Amino acid sequence: MTYLVGSGLTAYGRHEGQTTLDLMSQASAQALNDAGLARGDIDGLICGYSTTLPHLMLATVFAEHFGIQPHYAHTLQMGGATGMGLVMLARQLVMSGAAKRILVVGGENRMTGQSRDSAIQVLAQVGHPTYEVPLGATIPAYYGLVASRYMHTFGSTERDFSALAVLMREHAARHPGAQFSKPITEDEVLASRPIATPLKMLDCCSVADGGCAVVISADPLGDHPIKISGASQQHNAQHISAMTTLSDFGAGRCTQRALADAGRRLDEVEYAAIYDSFTITLTMLLEEIGLAPRGQAGHLAREGHFGLNGKVPLNLHGGLLSYGHCGVAGAMAHLAETHLQMTGRAGARQARQAGVSLLHADGGVLSSHVSVVLEAV
């Protein structure tokens, strides 16, 4: 069995003068303290990439910086799915006996460490180098195309998308570390600046600085362990131009395998942490996974289904859309919040129950999918 025994999360937003290594260190120190462990107790380290520190050996660079000498060190790159991919990898490493206590960390000064144009150019490279990138497409443009087709196929509207942005901001208002906490309305989302039709500014996640870390262990150490009971991946196609359908990206199959691995059903899920780089991302994932019927995610959000007191509370820290997005650590914040929820430490954000939680993230443009199932000990 494998356990998540500690988590650490910085505030997301502007951290002037803080480097990738600084932010990773801050989150890691918090996670070790939460787990009741010292740096010398860690025998494994896996981390995600950083666009502001694109070192070929980032894991060992960080190990040196943080003052640890792990038996195993590795860096992973799966775009936005990296955080959940790291958790799945850590679980496999622990189960294989390669390490017993693994520090999993991501962090980046994505907001202050590079220009806006540089960030846009770097991220756009997930597109096909021959058929997409030369046409000048950006990540929002790719998702805008997908959103237009999804609206045509399933009847979702721009107002439906906006309901999810409003919900994430409502949740972020309860978290002191969120980048954005001022309430917004559906009308304000719809009136915000167009980015890539039909997506507006408030349909898009923000760029932030921040860091997040967790400790994965072979034993239920410390005061706050939870069990990693299932995990799975699915990779249909890397590029939009190579996809044979824009309604089945692999999220549903990925989730079902993770649930089967855990011996659970979707209707047993009490808390959900779902990747939300754009409102269309969250819409499509919720609906393909089965947490909402096709074309109904926005309606359910508006009715309170995914709210604090709803049937399936969703991203109660505010998600990427409002807590902020700093690369690998963006989706890892979903994980840190889930850990707090499952151990009853989320304060004013505390859900009534979160004993079985489902996490899902995607990388690229809905290209790579990772699902993780967590259970209370």
* Residue 176 burial by Cβ neighbours in a 10 Å radius (0-12, 13-18, 19+): exposed
| Rounded Cα distance, 256 and 260, in Å | 6
What is the residue type of 61?
Answer: V
Rounded to 5 degrees, what are φ and ψ at 191? -90, -5
Judge contact between 320 and 275, C-beta under 8 A: yes
Q: What is the pLDDT of residue 339?
A: 98
Fold of 3-114+208-217: Peroxisomal Thiolase; Chain A, domain 1 (3.40.47)
Output the CA–CA distances (angstroms, integers) from residue 132 to 59, 144, 219, in the order listed. Answer: 31, 14, 46
For the stretch 251-264, pLDDT in tens is 999 999 999 999 99
Task: Compute the CA torsion angle 194, 198, 199, 200 (nearest 10 deg).
Answer: 30
Reading the block at residue 201, the tokens are: 């500014």
What's the whole-number average pLDDT of the chain? 96
CB atoms within 10 A of CB 228: 23
For the stretch 336-374, pLDDT in tens is 999 999 999 999 999 999 999 999 999 999 999 999 999
Confidence of residue 122 (pLDDT cuts 50, 70, 90): confident
**pLDDT score of 120 more than 80:** no
Reading the block at residue 173, the tokens are: 């208002």
Detail the DSSP E strand segments found in 182-254.
Answer: 194-196, 199-200, 209-217, 226-235
- Overall pTM > 0.75: yes
Residue with tokens 């070790």: 32
Judge contact between 329 and 83, C-beta under 8 A: yes
Closest CA to 105 of 259, 326, 272, 312: 326
User: How does DSSP assign 4-65, residue by residue?
Assistant: EEEEEE---B--TT--HHHHHHHHHHHHHHHHT--GGG--EEEEE--SSS--TTHHHHHHHH
For the stretch 283-303, pLDDT in tens is 999 999 999 999 999 999 999
Hey, is 314 helix, strand or coil?
Answer: strand
